[in-house]
Amino acid sequence: MGSPIVLKLFENNQSAAQTVFRLIKQQEDLLTVNREHSQLMAVNHAAGQHPVVVSRPVFDLISKAKEVSLLEGSCFNVAIGPLVKRWKIGFQGDTVPSPEALRALLPLTDPAHVVLDAQACSVFLTQLGMELDLGAIAKGYIADRVREQLRQMGIEQALINLGGNVLTLGTPAYDDQHTWGIGLQKPFSPNGTMLGVIAVTGKSVVTSGIYERYFEKDGMLYHHILDPKTGYPLDNELLSVTVISDNSIDGDIYTTLLYGMGVEKALHHLTTQPQLEAIFVTKAGQVICSSQRHCQFTLTDNDYHLVLK
């Protein structure tokens, strides 16, 4: 999955651990776009030619991603693959495309051109050169599948960390407060340098930030959160967005949606989503909490100051 994976259990259960990592590998093999062969790549290779039948779980995930992509003003885009491939941010060969190159690619990133047939369980990209990319949703989906697998095996206390997608089950055996302490990374600092600690119970914590994958050229920073309308990295007041939710897939979706909205619009939107909570880290040195209904945040870094909404 291109990132470290951590599973914490409170029992010596090698069979459960092996089952979880086998499940993760199986899901990655279905959903990756970083290798030539996967169900998702079969769809991409057939773009502009013919529909491709996929498994029901893959179809449902693509369908969910398309639905979110078509929301008004959404910065989430399941069809953003051509832009991701052109920028290569976080991979060898990253480069700043010319404005002409981006203008040529933008028509290939319209999620309305992803045609789904629920009865046949098929996906068709109508334009040659289109590419799906589920990178913004796959980790959350897989984390939720892992939680489901653990529960089926009778495990009710665990922590899953898929490269920053953290999902907790139950309460940790070692904590008197019965909460998990999840560190919030300080942007552009060595890995493990924390801004603060998020205390949760049985929740998902997902963070997306511009410091995760980026490169610099001619004094400009180019990060991996792309604006599907312009083809360039989104540029607003935010360094990162963290979403606390019941399901990790919702955390994946809303980190992208809220980042694209900016702080004020995102805070207003969250008033209609009481099941969610968000923590925004801004370029001005603020850590803004939408509320503390579903978590407790403790700031530990003196370079930032906490704002409660």
Tokens of 41: 């790549």
Residue 173 exposed, middle or buried by CB count within 10 Å (0-12, 13-18, 19+): exposed
Tokens of 35: 């290798």
Can you tell me whether residue 84 is helix, strand or coil?
Answer: helix
Enumerate the β-bridge partners of residue 6: 161
pLDDT digits (tens, 9 = 90+) for 141-169: 999 999 999 999 999 899 999 988 999 99
What is the pTM (predicted TM-score) of this model?
Answer: 0.95
- Predicted pLDDT at 175: 64
Compare 156 and 115 and report the one with higher pLDDT. 115
Complete DSSP assignment for 38-51? SHHHHHHHTTTT--
Task: Round to whole Å and give the CA distance between 238 and 146.
Answer: 31
Pairing assessment for the beta strands 277-282 and 238-245 based on DSSP bridges: antiparallel
- Predicted pLDDT at 1: 65
- Predicted pLDDT at 173: 76
Q: What is the mean pLDDT of residues 87-105?
A: 95
Tokens of 269: 């939107």
With CA atoms as reference, report the closest residue to 151 among 168, 165, 138. 168
Task: Round to whole Å and give the CA distance between 172 and 159.
Answer: 9
| Domain positions in the chain | 156-308
Tokens of 236: 């607003």
What does the mean pLDDT of the chain come to? 95
C-beta atoms surrounding 35 within 10 Å:
10
Choosing among 1.10.3720.10, 3.10.520.10, 3.90.1150.10, 1.10.10.10, the CATH entry for 156-308 is 3.10.520.10
